[in-house]
Amino acid sequence: MKGWIDRVIRAGIAYKFVEGDQGEGVPVGLLNAIRAVVFNTFDTPRESEMKVFGDPLETLWKNCIFGLCGVEAFHRKNYGVMVTSTIEEREKWLEDVRTTVNSLF
């Protein structure tokens, strides 16, 4: 995923810095997208992950990636625990992805 981000979320394409920037590094978003959605899977129970790590992926996607590019509305959904999930659970998750995408776009 980092390779995709590095290739797609680039200065001059997804954001730019204001001419005359004196090192503040405050970007101006260039993406025409109004909203973005990210679907994450995980293998650590959500409660354990939140207790130990907080939610760094929310901050990364919302503030450091899409916020940088000017995307106004960000949505993220998590699915798991993958390693112990059943095919029925995964089918429900996929249906939820379809429903979410259809409701947002």
**Domain limits of the chain?**
2-104
pLDDT of residue 20: 80
| Residuewise pLDDT in 10s, the chain (105 residues) | 788 888 889 989 999 988 887 767 788 999 999 999 999 999 988 888 888 888 889 999 999 999 999 999 999 999 999 999 999 999 999 999 999 999 999
* Other beta carbons less than 10 A from residue 84's beta carbon: 9
Can you tell me the distance from the alpha carbon of 20 to that of 83, in angstroms, rounded to the nearest whole number?
50
pLDDT of residue 46: 82
- For residue 37, give both structure tokens: 């959605």
Q: Give the E-state strand segments of the chain in sequence order.
A: 15-17, 27-29, 35-42, 73-80
Q: Are 11 and 49 in contact (CB under 8 A)?
A: no
- For residue 22, give both structure tokens: 């004196």
